[in-house]
Amino acid sequence: MAVATEPKPLTHPLPGGREGARVRLTPLLAGELAAPPAYLARRDGRLGVLRDRLQVLGSRRSGWLQLPVPAFLVEHPSAGPLLVDTGFHPSVVDGVEANMGRAARVLYHVRMEREQAIAKQLETRGIAATDVRTVVMTHLHVDHASGVSEFPAATFVVDAREWVAASAGGTRNGYHARQFDHAFDWRTIDYGMQAIDSFASFGQSFDLFGDGAVRLLSTPGHSAGHQSVLLRLSAREALLTGDAAYTWAALRDGAMPLVLDDEHRYRRSIGELALYLRQTPGALVIPGHDAAAWAKLEERYE
């Protein structure tokens, strides 16, 4: 399927920034995705990886883990409410095929309640879907881009490499173009452009509103153009790793996931994340799919 949408390059911060701005963060659970344990932490060596892949193919789903699928509401004092990722589309409650493609019936096993649709969760907080003017996509895999169509008024921000990979990637690589191929305001970031700077332990970052409140971090490896998000709260920073680190075990112990786009880039990205963790022990850090960590999160962070 050819992608018809033409994104525009984002070369300068989006409007709405305010000097000294602080944001509020609300984690939103969009549902759960079943996966075998090796998906989060594979064995070492080529033989170990091969054994894990074969085990996954023949694995009984009774032993699989239920991984949280998150999205995040970020409330900026002048840029308004924005999202990091979109969670599952409401239709997924009735089956994954319509939103994720025919192969999804075999590949993806989702638990979701109707009330977990992100637009519905925002509505309960007094925020209409059309009030969301910015959506940061960590990447475009199906469990992150599923709900894109729910936010037609938003500007969507994605790494340029991710857009290219997702447009050509297909189901085999974790993408379904119909999820994101909408004539919305898509903006792509080239992390090699002049406006890119380093920040803390991260070699490439982009200040989304130009006020330091929301910084996008280039953390490729899990996917071709994965990006993490660093937020300035009232008294500390919050790091949303996305799938650059599925779990705390990845950050602290170097646990390697089974499936990667580029292992070298993944190791570099996880190294930057782990270094940030050591340098900033007071930061709130939320890994991408860590069930134990998710259970300990507060409802909102100021």
- Confidence check: pLDDT of 1 > 70: no
**For tokens 């910084």, what's the residue?**
215
| Model confidence pLDDT, tens digit, residues 51-88 | 555 555 555 666 789 999 999 999 999 999 999 999 99
The phi, psi pair for 42, rounded to 5°, reads -90, 170
Q: Specify the DSSP class assigned to residue 257.
A: P
| Model confidence pLDDT, tens digit, residues 132-182 | 999 999 999 999 999 999 999 999 999 999 999 999 988 889 999 999 999
- Confidence check: pLDDT of 90 > 70: yes
| Domain ranges, ordered by start, for the chain | 8-295
The reported pTM is 0.94
Cα separation of 23 and 126, whole Å? 17
Q: What pLDDT is recorded for position 259?
A: 86
Element (H, E) at 111: strand 110-111
Sheet holding 134-136, edge to edge: 8-9, 185-189, 155-159, 134-136, 80-84, 65-76, 24-35, 110-111
**CB 134 within 8 Å of CB 78:** no
Residue partners of 276: CB distance under 8 A and separation at least 6: 200, 201, 202, 239, 283
Cα separation of 249 and 246, whole Å? 8
Q: What pLDDT is recorded for position 51?
A: 59
Class of domain 8-295: alpha beta
Residue partners of 93: CB distance under 8 A and separation at least 6: 112, 113, 114, 117
